[in-house]
Every structure is written in C-alpha cells, then in structure tokens.
Amino acid sequence: MWARSVPYDEFARLRREAPVAWFPDEGSGFWSVHRYADIVAASRDVATFSSGRGVSFEEPTDEDMAARRTIIDTDPPEHTKLRKVVSGAFSQRAVAVYEHFITELTEQVLDACPASGTFDFVDAVAKEVPIRVLARIMGLPAADLDLFIDLGDRLIANTDPDITDVVWGRDDTDAYRRYPFRSPYGKQLWDLGRQVVAGRLADPGDDLLSRLLQAEVDGDRLSETDLDNFFSILVVAGNETTRIAIAHGVLAFCQYPDQWDRLRADPALLDTATDEVIRWSCPTHFMRRTAAADTSLGGATISAGDKVILWYVSGNRDEAEFADPDVFDVGRNPNRHLSFGRGGPHLCLGVHVARLEVKLVLAALARRFSRFELAGEPRRIRSNFTNGLKALPVRVSR
C-alpha cells in the first residue's frame, strides 16, 4: 500500500471515525493516533508517552536499547542533558553560517544537471545536497564521503530490496541486532564514525564532532556508545528527510505549476513555501511512543506498555487545524505542521538546517527553471516510515 501512495483518504476516514484506534497486527499491536490535537497532546506529555522503547514499530530488547539508544530514544532528564550538548550547534544563528556553502553546493549540483530536458531529480539533485551538508557540519574528510553516502542510503531505505541487499524484517540476524537498523551497514557506519572520531581526537577542529568530543554532561564526557549513536542519528535523521522534502516539493510543483509561477514571481514567499513543502511532503510519517502508565487519549483507554503510533502524516492533513489541508499553498500562514514533531522536547534538532537547505534549494531552482513537468512515474520507497522517492523523472524548462 505505501509503495503505491500515502493512504490520505483512509487517514481522513480514521480521523472522522476512529481518531485513536487499536490495530492488533504488527507484533504486540498498537494504538494508531490520527488527529492533530491528540498527536500534539501525546508529544507534550513525555511522562506518559515515553520515547524510551524507541520510535519505530520494532520491539527491541533492553540490551538492544542499551546499545543503540540515540537522543531520540531517551526521555527527560537524560534527553535534556544530551540535547543541551548539541543544541547550540544547531541553533538558527549557528546554522546560518552554512548559507553560503549550501548555496554554492546547490549551484554546483545544478550546473551538473542537463540545462534542459529530462533527468531523475532525486539522483541528480535531491540526493546530492543534504548528505554533503551533513558531512560539512560533522567535518567529515572528503575521502570518506562516498562510503558515508552509500551507508546512509542503505540504512534509510532498509525495507526496500531495490536499495539494500539486507532488508529489515527479511534478512534480520541476531548478529547485528545491537547495531543501527539491525544492519551490517549500521555497524559499518559506527566503524566509520570511530575512525573519524580518532582523527578528530588527534587533530580537533571547530566542527560538530570535535565539539561533541570536548562536551561534558554533568561533568562527564560523552561515552563511546553515545558518540557512535550521535553519529548514526545525524546521518539517519538529517539525510533522507531533507532529500524527501526537496524531491516531494518538486513533485508538488510539477502537479501545481501555478504555485511555482507564484513563488517565482514573489520570492518573499520562500519562507512560507518552505514550510508548505515540508508539511506537504511529511518526510517522516510517524513517531512511536510507549505508554508509561495507564491513560486515555482521544477517547481511547490506553494501558501501560502499549505501543502508540503518532501519525504526523495524518495530522498534517487534519481539517480541524488546517484550512483546505489538501491544497498545496505556498503562501500558507499559519502553518503549524507536524513534520518536525510538535509540542514536546524531541522537536527535530535539525529544524533550522533543514529549513535553510529546503529554502536555498528552492531559491536556486527558482532562479534557473521556469517549469517542472513529470517525465514518467515517480517511484516510491517501499516504507511506511519515510515518504521517500527513489526516482522522480522530470523535464525542466529554463
């Protein structure tokens, strides 16, 4: 179903008829939360809706969690401490220094595209920018870049046999269950991270990794496991998500050319257009929480230990929050979408980097291309978690 399309109509029906519904499938079953207001309420109440069992459908053991826990899988007070270490590096002011770099990188990537005619936008553009921005933020050596990109791809699209030969749910072995995504590529990513860390220890710079190495949490340095996991969450959370937003943005502009004309005619709309692209694309369909106590949400009675799936993709189309939610409107304001999470402490750490990247890529595209048209069927990644496109054939006009 997800490989074909996002089931927006089905979510609309669930919002009307079963706002918080129990689905007995997927292991031990799960509560499925569809309305905007309930999603925000659960995100806010971290004491009841815990992130401590992870944010995916997976059912990890305590040992798995201990080895693989990243910031996204922690609750306060541990979360608060970890977040304090990295938040400065991701503030709006701190990331503004990358503006020039991102614009130059985007221009280079666009220079390499055919001047007009048909090409795959995911391969040629959307995939190229985010990982290179991350590599820059983390201070990765250029020699490691290709491996870094390859590992990022194999991990994120880990349910799609077109992209990885180790498919989650099909090829799981206990040998890798303590590594990110239960994958040998997760182990390779950690190994790469350790090499890079060793380089930074020997020769510190002003990049994020060097700062993490020097950071202290309550007088303690981050452990080796914390560092491994920071390295992997940044790759996993910051690469494909931004790629999806950029690719789906262009798909939306193929489908609604009037909105592209409107944005090109009025670059003052770039900020609202960026957030509309991010609402529309909702790169991460859901986040999971686990009930830490018996509670109720949206009329449902939830028991301690139950898995609770917050469908951001449904909340982003909730008619109770958004006027005409199924209309793509580059001037939408307000736009309190859920794509970065909302209401709780886990709000995407990379929110300012992501917005800056999407905005600068849109600006560069608007300077160059007067029209995008679909030149074939977009191909979706087989995943209920990310809204990824693996191919987006487009025809561009100058």
Residues that bind ligand HEM in the complex, under the rule CB under 6 A: 43, 71-72, 83, 134, 233-234, 237-238, 241-242, 245, 278, 283-284, 287, 339-341, 346, 348-350, 353-354
CB of 46 to ligand HEM, least distance (A): 10
Give 72 or 364: the residue with its C-beta nearer to ligand HEM: 72
CB of 232 to ligand HEM, least distance (A): 10
Give 83 or 371: the residue with its C-beta nearer to ligand HEM: 83
Half-sphere exposure in the Cβ direction for 362 (13 Å, CA) = 35
CB of 289 to ligand HEM, least distance (A): 8
Give 163 or 246: the residue with its C-beta nearer to ligand HEM: 246
Give 185 or 280: the residue with its C-beta nearer to ligand HEM: 280
CB of 54 to ligand HEM, least distance (A): 11
CB of 341 to ligand HEM, least distance (A): 2
Residue 386: beta bridge partners? 284
Q: What is the 3-state secondary structure (H, E, C) of the chain?
A: CCCCCCCHHHHHHHHHHCCEEEECCCCCCEEEECCHHHHHHHHHCCCCEECCCCCCCCCCCHHHHHHHCCHHHCCCCHHHHHHHHHHHHHCHHHHHCCHHHHHHHHHHHHHCCCCCEEEEHHHHHHCHHHHHHHHHHHCCCHHHHHHHHHHHHHHHCCCCCCCCCCCCCCCCCHHHCCCHHHCHHHHHHHHHHHHHHHHHHHCCCCCHHHHHHHCEECCEECCHHHHHHHHHHHHHHHCHHHHHHHHHHHHHHHHCHHHHHHHHHCHHHHHHHHHHHHHHHCCECEEEEEECCCEEECCEEECCCCEEEEEHHHHCCCCCCCCCCCCCCCCCCCCCCCCCCCCCCCCCCCHHHHHHHHHHHHHHHHHHCCEEEECCCCEECCCCCECCEEECEEEEEC
Residue nearest to ligand HEM (CB): 350
CB of 235 to ligand HEM, least distance (A): 9
Give 164 or 284: the residue with its C-beta nearer to ligand HEM: 284
Give 38 or 166: the residue with its C-beta nearer to ligand HEM: 38
Q: Which residues contact 276 (CB under 8 A, 6 or more apart)?
A: 328, 329, 330, 331, 332, 335
Give 125 or 166: the residue with its C-beta nearer to ligand HEM: 125
Give 166 or 344: the residue with its C-beta nearer to ligand HEM: 344
Give 190 or 340: the residue with its C-beta nearer to ligand HEM: 340
CB of 350 to ligand HEM, least distance (A): 2
CB of 356 to ligand HEM, least distance (A): 9
CB of 284 to ligand HEM, least distance (A): 4
